[in-house]
Amino acid sequence: MSNPEDPAGTDAGDDLADSTSDASLRRSEARSEQIEADLAVHPERYRILTGDRPTGNLHIGHYFGSLRNRVRLQDAGIDTFVVIADYQVITDRDGVGPIRDRVYSLVADYLAAGIDPARTTVFTHSSVPALNQLMLPFLSLVTDAELRRNPTVKSELDASGDRPMSGLMLTYPVHQAADILFCKANLVPVGKDQLPHLEQTRVIARRFDERYGRAVPEAPVFPQADALLSRGAANILGLDGQKMSKSRGNTIDLGMSADETAKLLKRAVTDSDRRITFDPVNRPQVSNLVNLAALTLGRTPQEIADEVGDGGGGGLKKLVTTAVNDYFAGHRARRLDLVADSGYLRDVLADGNRRANEVAEATLDEVRTAMQMTYA
């Protein structure tokens, strides 16, 4: 329990460090499995917050790593909020770039993939003032030292060289907490590397309750959000065998044409051994292409490797190209129709922003009540 006389308490450092320990990971995995089982029976118990930074177009790594899962959860009947985190673009950049085009590109890919704007609230950070206003009381609940110990902030600081860290980058974990808590999400789909961010959110929710009490006596203002850990999420590498990243230019964007995809896959890195095997440790580039074919064909990687056999890199690339283009043909066709109807995309975002604002303003009213900051 935090010391109520301490501005932020003394336990968060231990909590954040513990969130990456082996024992904590096992607890998180067990809890996630329990939640997965309950989702099928009681979807009405949950609200999910997830989202993306509009720093570029979504690619196939995003699709298999998160987007496909969002559609699954939405279709299971779970109330879902998707934030397009436009304010977070400037945490580690000097400008926003062609952000408007990128935001609408994300919306088009969401809808093409199966996100239903009638069931999922899609909104942008900058359009929800009450969400961002939560940053002020939340910042009073954490210390500078705790923020600097956060793995994401720490890695950014280590990689910055002589570049000073911006205040927004330092407080990035608090902004993420505001994203989750403004809509009272109690479930957040994350990878294991993101558990410290979620633990920071849980710390802030708990400290707010400890310091300011409750908006109503029987319930805290904010829930303790759980992690829904990715279940066997595909770890798709880039076409150069490195981590798939928009900044590296090694991705296949969801909006690319079949011809563009074929040209990129033709240049994908393989090796000189003609016999195709699935060996992610010793043959990561070849295995990455095998895995991509398996995902798009609904088969096992071993089956794909056995089929290509002695066909070498050329045979493997031919199979992958056909499989990827066939798999995403429907997505691409829907996306083209959506992009051509910019008015509809604007309407979707406007409606999502309206709904998010209603939720955020109601939450902010509860926060003000708990803080005794209502004056009329």
Residue 305 and residue 344 in contact, taking contact as beta carbons nearer than 8 Å? no
Q: Which pLDDT score, from 0 to 100, does residue 282 have?
A: 94
- pLDDT tens digits, 310-340: 999 999 999 999 999 999 999 999 999 999 9
**What are the structure tokens assigned to 285, written together?**
């580039």
**What are the structure tokens assigned to 209, written together?**
């309750």
Q: Which pLDDT score, from 0 to 100, does residue 232 have?
A: 52
Residue of 235 and 271 predicted with greater confidence: 271
Domains and CATH numbers, the chain: 12-233+342-370 (3.40.50.620), 246-340 (1.10.240.10)
HEC string of 185-238 equals CCEEEECHHHHHHHHHHHHHHHHHHHHHCCCECCECCCCCCEEEECCCCCCCEC
Task: Decide if pLDDT at 5 tops 80.
Answer: no
- pLDDT tens digits, 195-252: 998 999 999 999 999 999 876 667 899 999 999 997 655 678 888 888 888 778 789 9
